[in-house]
Amino acid sequence: MIELGNIEPADELEERALNQAARELLLAQSSDWAFIMRTGTMVSYAIERTKTHLLRFNQIYDDFQLGTINASLLESIEAIDNIFPSIDYRVYRFPKNKK
């Protein structure tokens, strides 16, 4: 995500994709999923949610690598998980080393 955080979006679609990548990472890292897995309650659901968010994050990352963002896929993901509507992916921006 730090790599994506350092991208300057070319347009609104790219910015939306970057913000959704940040959402997906936060959702995948939610402590609830690990807690559910550890306690043994609804383990398959927790595993599925973790995988789903990681797959979505990876899809967005790959789209940036290829220079193609699937607008309809992004729109459907945003409709499903639009937590943190004001998120700014730039919080993951890491300053480059100064020499």
Domain parsing of the chain, residue ranges: 2-92
For residue 92, which of 38, 43, 25 has the smallest C-alpha distance? 25
User: pLDDT tens digits for 27-53?
Assistant: 998 878 777 777 877 788 888 888 999
Domain 2-92 in CATH 2.40.50.140: no
Whether residue 88 contacts residue 1, with contact meaning beta carbons closer than 8 Å, is answered with: no
Cite the DSSP H helix spans in the chain: 2-5, 12-28, 31-39, 43-66, 71-80
Q: How far is CA 65 from CA 41, 56, 68, 72, in A?
A: 37, 14, 8, 18
User: How many CB atoms are located within 10 Å of the residue 46 CB?
Assistant: 19
pLDDT at 99: 53
